[in-house]
C-alpha cells in the first residue's frame, strides 16, 4: 500500500469519503510508521512519507471508517534528557476520534524492564494496547440547535453516564450505562421535571482503568484518567460496531437539545493516563515526551506533578496547546456540546511554577471564536503550590465556588462566625467576582459534587467511611464540614431522620435561591447515599450508581426540589444578572435592592454582623430593585421576598419588617414542613411575629404594601 503525500492538517485520521489522511506531530522523530490492523489482528506498517513543521503525514486511498490503527515512532531514547521514543511500542494517536480495546497491564506496555527503570524494554506492545479507529464524520443532526441557556437561567445537574442509568428500571437493560440510556425518555422526563437546563457529564473522553485498581478488583469509575482527548469513551456505547460510540454520543446530544437541555463535559486536559516515569508508554510519551509533558528541569527523567496523578501536560508547548484547543473545538463543532468544566484548571494556568491567570491557554481561549462562545467552568484549584485559585480566573470564565460549598455547610451545621460570609455567598460572592467585572453567575454554586459526600451522607456522617476503596480509609478528604445530626450513619430514630430531612431541604433551598448558578449532584434530589464513602472514584457498582427506587421512597424530597427549582425559574429576583448594590437602583426609590434584618426586625448593624454567635438572619430581596433589562430593553421587575434563615438549634421569634418593606406577606416555602407554594398559605403583616423553627428556612412573598 503506497501512501500519497496527504496534508499536515488536520491532525489525526480524517476520512473524506474515498480514503483517510493521517497526520501526527513529533518534533523528535526520525521516522513514523502508521500501523493498520486487520480484523484478525494482523498488522500492516506504512511509513508516512512527508513531514512538514514536525507533522508526519500521508493519505491512504480506500482506508475506510472502522479501520484500526496506531503509530510506531523511531527517535531518541534518552530518559535522563526527557526522550522516550521506542518503535517497539504501539502508540495511540493523540487525535484518535474513537478507541477500541483494553490495555493489558503486562511488561510490553512499559518502556523499561520490570525492576530496572534505567534500561529500555523492546518487547512489542501491539497486542496489549487499545487501538485508534477511523470514524465516519457524517451524521444527520436534523434540526438541532444549541439551547444557549443564559447562565443566570441555568440549573446544572452533575451526572455520570453509567451511574445515572445503570439502575433505572424504565431504561432497557441493554441501554443502561450508555449514551443511549442517558437519552432515554424516562431520564429526559426526570431532568425536565426537575427544571434542569444543563447536564454536566463526568469524564467521557476515552480513559483507562488503573493497574492498581484492577489488582484490587476495582475500576476507575470517575474516569479522570484520560488517554484520548477526542474519543468518547467506548464502554459507554450501547452499539458494538467499530466507532459507533461517536454517532451514539451525537444522538444523545441531539436528544438533550430537543428537550432544551445543554450538555457540558467535565474534561481532563491537565494530565494523561501515562502516569509518572514508571508509567506505561501508550501514546504521547513515546511520540514526543518532552513536548507533551512538564518535566523536572534539572532531571528530565521525572515529571512535574501538579495533579496528584503522576504527570502534568506541558501547555507551554504550542503543539500541546494546539492539541487541547483542537479537542475543545472538535467537541463544540462536531459533537455539538455546549460547554466544559475543566478539571484542576489551575494546572493549565501554570506557565512555569506559579498559577498565572494571563497564561497562554487563557489568552488563546479568550480570542477563539468557537470556544469563547460556550460555557467555560473552571475547577479553580490543583494540588501544586498556590493551587487554590477560587475567584482568580479571567472574566470569560465561571468557577466551581468551593467557598460557597464550605460556607453553606458550616452555616447549616451551626458553626460560629459564619453569618457574614454566608450572606456574601448566597448573594453571588461579589468579593470574589465583582472586582474584575464578572457577574453573579461567575459563581457555580454547589453544596455537594461527585468528589465528597452525597447530600444524604452530608447530614448522616461526621467521618468518611472509605474502607471499600482498599486504602485503609486513608483516601478522601478529612475536612467534610458535615454533621450526622446525632447518630453516625443509618438510624431508625424518627427525630434524627426528621432533622436530616429538614437539613437536606435547607441546603437544596439555599442552593436554588442563592445568586449564581446552582449545580445539583445526581441523585441528591432523591436522597442517594454512598454509605459514608466520600471518594467513590473506584466504586463502579451499586454504591455509586443512582438507586432509582429512592425516587419513590423519597418522593417528597423529589417534589420539594422540583418546586423550589420552579420557584427560582419563575422569579428573576433569585437569579439576577448583576450584583446587589445595597442601595436603590434609581433616585427617588425608597427601598434598596437588598436589606438585612435581625430577628427583631431591625436592620443589621456592624456589631450584629461581627457577633460570632449569630445563627439567624432575614434577607429582603427587592423585586422592584433589579437593574436587569429583558431582551426588549425593558426593565425586569418581580415580586419582593423575605428569606428567613435559622441555623440555631432552637426556634426563634422573627418580627416581620414593616413600613415600606411591606404590609402583608405570605409563606411560599417552609423547609420545616417541606411545603413550597402551599394551597393554604399562612400570611403575616408588618411588625407581626413569626415563629421560625429551629434549623429551617422560610420564604415570604410580599402581597401588599402600605398605602
Active site residue 343: yes
Q: Do residues 561 and 520 lie in contact, with contact meaning Cβ atoms separated by under 8 Å?
A: yes
Can you give the pLDDT at residue 348?
A: 84
Can you give the pLDDT at residue 353?
A: 58
Longest dimension (CA), the chain: 89
pLDDT digits (tens, 9 = 90+) for 627-679: 988 888 888 999 999 999 999 999 999 999 987 888 899 999 999 999 887 77
Residue 193 parent element (H or E):
helix 185-194
State whether residue 342 is helix, strand or coil. strand
Question: CB-side exposure of 56: number of CA atoms within 13 Å?
Answer: 22
Q: Do residues 529 and 454 lie in contact, with contact meaning Cβ atoms separated by under 8 Å?
A: yes
Q: Do residues 22 and 69 lie in contact, with contact meaning Cβ atoms separated by under 8 Å?
A: yes
Residue 145 parent element (H or E):
none
Could you tell me which residues come within 8 angstroms of residue 607 by beta carbon, excluding any fewer than 6 positions away? Answer: none
* 100, 266, 379, 593: the active-site residue: 379
Can you give the pLDDT at residue 355?
A: 65
Could you tell me which residues come within 8 angstroms of residue 648 by beta carbon, excluding any fewer than 6 positions away? Answer: 414, 615, 616, 694, 695
H runs (alpha helix) in 270-336: 284-292, 318-333
- Locate cell 460572592: which residue? 429
Cell of 67: 479501520
Can you list the domains of the chain with their CATH numbers? 12-134 (2.60.40.10), 584-703 (2.60.40.1180)
Quote the CA–CA distance of 707 and 158 in Å, as a whole number: 47
Return the DSSP state at 289. H
Q: Are strands 77-78 and 83-84 parallel, antiparallel or unpaired?
A: antiparallel
Residue 425 parent element (H or E):
helix 419-426
Can you give the pLDDT at residue 358?
A: 56
Cell of 433: 467576582
Count of residues making up the chain: 707
Q: Do residues 469 and 526 lie in contact, with contact meaning Cβ atoms separated by under 8 Å?
A: no
Could you tell me which residues come within 8 angstroms of residue 358 by beta carbon, excluding any fewer than 6 positions away? Answer: 394
- Locate cell 431582551: which residue? 631
Cell of 364: 488563546
Residue ranges of the chain whose pLDDT lies below 70: 351-358, 706-707
The CA–CA distances, whole Å, from 358 to 225, 351, 355, 384, 430 equal 27, 9, 9, 18, 21
* 343, 399, 410, 624: the active-site residue: 343
- Locate cell 482506508: which residue? 63
Active site residue 200: no
- Locate cell 462566625: which residue? 417
Can you give the pLDDT at residue 334?
A: 98
Read off φ and ψ for residue 371, nearest 5 degrees: -70, -35
Nearest to residue 503, comparing CAs of 547, 463, 546, 448? 448
Could you tell me which residues come within 8 angstroms of residue 566 by beta carbon, excluding any fewer than 6 positions away? Answer: 195
pLDDT digits (tens, 9 = 90+) for 425-475: 999 999 999 988 999 999 999 999 999 999 999 999 999 999 999 999 999
Could you tell me which residues come within 8 angstroms of residue 98 by beta carbon, excluding any fewer than 6 positions away? Answer: 132, 133, 134, 135, 231, 232, 234, 242, 243, 245, 246
Question: CB-side exposure of 677: number of CA atoms within 13 Å?
Answer: 11
Quote the CA–CA distance of 150 and 441 in Å, as a whole number: 9
Amino acid at each position: 500500500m503506497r501512501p500519497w503525500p496527504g496534508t499536515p492538517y488536520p491532525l489525526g485520521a480524517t476520512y473524506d469519503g474515498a480514503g483517510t489522511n493521517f497526520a501526527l506531530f513529533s518534533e523528535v522523530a526520525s521516522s513514523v510508521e502508521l500501523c493498520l490492523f486487520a480484523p484478525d489482528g494482523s498488522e500492516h506498517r506504512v511509513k508516512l512519507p512527508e513531514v512538514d513543521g514536525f507533522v508526519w503525514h500521508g493519505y491512504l486511498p480506500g482506508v475506510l471508517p472502522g479501520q484500526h490503527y496506531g503509530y510506531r515512532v523511531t527517535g531518541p531514547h534518552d530518559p535522563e534528557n526527557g526522550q522516550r521514543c521506542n518503535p517497539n511500542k504501539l502508540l495511540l494517536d493523540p487525535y484518535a476520534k474513537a478507541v477500541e480495546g483494553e490495555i493489558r497491564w503486562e511488561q510490553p506496555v512499559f518502556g523499561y524492564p520490570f525492576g530496572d527503570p534505567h534500561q529500555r524494554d523492546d518487547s512489542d506492545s501491539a497486542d496489549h494496547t487499545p487501538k485508534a479507529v477511523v470514524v465516519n464524520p457524517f451524521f444527520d443532526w436534523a434540526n438541532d440547535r444549541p439551547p444557549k441557556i443564559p447562565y443566570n437561567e441555568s440549573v446544572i445537574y452533575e451526572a455520570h453516564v453509567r451511574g445515572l442509568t445503570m439502575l433505572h428500571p424504565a431504561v432497557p437493560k441493554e441501554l443502561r450505562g450508555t449514551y443511549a440510556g442517558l437519552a432515554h425518555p424516562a431520564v429526559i422526563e426526570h431532568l425536565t421535571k426537575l427544571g434542569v437546563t444543563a447536564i454536566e457529564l463526568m469524564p467521557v473522553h476515552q480513559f483507562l482503568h488503573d493497574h492498581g485498581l484492577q489488582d484490587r478488583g476495582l475500576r476507575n469509575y470517575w474516569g479522570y484518567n484520560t488517554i484520548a482527548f477526542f474519543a468518547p469513551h467506548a464502554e459507554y456505547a450501547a452499539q458494538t460496531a467499530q466507532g459507533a460510540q461517536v454517532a451514539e454520543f451525537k444522538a444523545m446530544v441531539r436528544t438533550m437539545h430537543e428537550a432544551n437541555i445543554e450538555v457540558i463535559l467535565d474534561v481532563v486536559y491537565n494530565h494523561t493516563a501515562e502516569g509518572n516515569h514508571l508509567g506505561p508508554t501508550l501514546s504521547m510519551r513515546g511520540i514526543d515526551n518532552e513536548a507533551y509533558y512538564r518535566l523536572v528541569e534539572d532531571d528530565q527523567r521525572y515529571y512535574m506533578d501538579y495533579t496528584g496523578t503522576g504527570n502534568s501536560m506541558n501547555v507551554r508547548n504550542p503543539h500541546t496547546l494546539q492539541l487541547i484547543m483542537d479537542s475543545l473545538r472538535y467537541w463544540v463543532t462536531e459533537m455539538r456540546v455546549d460547554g466544559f468544566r475543566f478539571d484542576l484548571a489551575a494546572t493549565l494556568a501554570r506557565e512555569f511554577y506559579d498559577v498565572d491567570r494571563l497564561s497562554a491557554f487563557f489568552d488563546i481561549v479568550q480570542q477563539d471564536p468557537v470556544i469563547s462562545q460556550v460555557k467555560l467552568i473552571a475547577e479553580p484549584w490543583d494540588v501544586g503550590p498556590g493551587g487554590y485559585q477560587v475567584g482568580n480566573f479571567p472574566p470569560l470564565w465561571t468557577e466551581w465556588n468551593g467557598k460557597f460549598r464550605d460556607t453553606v455547610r458550616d452555616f447549616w451545621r451551626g458553626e460560629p462566625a459564619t453569618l457574614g460570609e454566608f450572606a456574601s455567598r448566597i448573594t453571588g460572592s461579589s468579593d470574589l467576582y465583582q472586582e474584575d467585572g464578572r457577574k453573579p453567575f461567575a459563581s457555580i454554586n454547589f453544596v455537594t459534587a461527585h468528589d465528597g459526600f452525597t447530600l444524604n451522607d452530608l447530614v448522616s456522617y461526621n467521618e468518611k467511611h472509605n474502607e471499600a476503596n482498599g486504602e485503609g480509609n486513608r483516601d478522601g478528604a478529612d475536612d467534610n464540614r458535615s454533621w450526622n445530626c446525632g447518630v453516625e450513619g443509618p438510624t431508625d430514630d424518627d427525630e434524627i431522620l426528621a432533622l436530616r430531612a429538614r437539613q437536606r431541604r435547607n441546603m437544596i433551598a439555599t442552593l436554588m435561591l442563592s445568586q449564581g448558578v446552582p449545580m445539583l449532584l445526581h441523585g441528591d434530589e432523591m436522597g442517594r447515599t454512598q454509605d459514608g464513602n466520600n471518594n467513590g472514584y473506584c466504586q463502579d457498582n451499586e454504591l455509586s450508581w443512582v438507586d432509582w427506587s429512592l425516587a419513590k421512597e423519597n418522593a417528597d424530597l423529589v417534589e420539594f426540589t422540583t418546586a423550589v427549582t420552579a420557584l427560582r425559574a419563575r422569579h428573576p429576583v433569585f437569579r439576577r444578572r448583576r450584583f446587589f448594590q445595597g442601595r436603590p437602583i434609581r433616585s427617588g426609590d425608597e427601598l434598596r435592592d437588598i436589606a438585612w434584618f435581625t430577628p427583631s426586625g431591625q436592620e443589621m448593624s456592624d456589631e450584629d454582623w461581627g457577633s460570632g454567635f449569630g445563627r439567624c438572619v432575614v434577607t429582603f430581596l427587592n423585586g422592584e430593585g433589579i437593574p436587569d433589562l429583558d431582551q426588549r430593553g425593558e426593565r425586569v421587575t418581580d415580586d419582593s421576598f423575605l428569606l428567613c434563615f435559622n441555623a440555631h438549634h432552637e426556634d426563634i421569634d422573627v418580627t416581620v419588617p414593616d413600613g415600606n418593606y411591606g404590609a402583608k406577606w405570605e409563606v411560599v416555602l417552609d423547609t420545616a414542613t417541606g411545603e413550597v407554594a402551599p394551597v393554604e398559605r399562612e400570611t403575616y403583616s408588618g411588625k407581626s411575629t413569626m415563629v421560625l423553627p429551629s434549623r429551617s428556612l422560610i420564604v415570604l412573598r410580599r402581597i401588599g404594601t402600605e398605602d
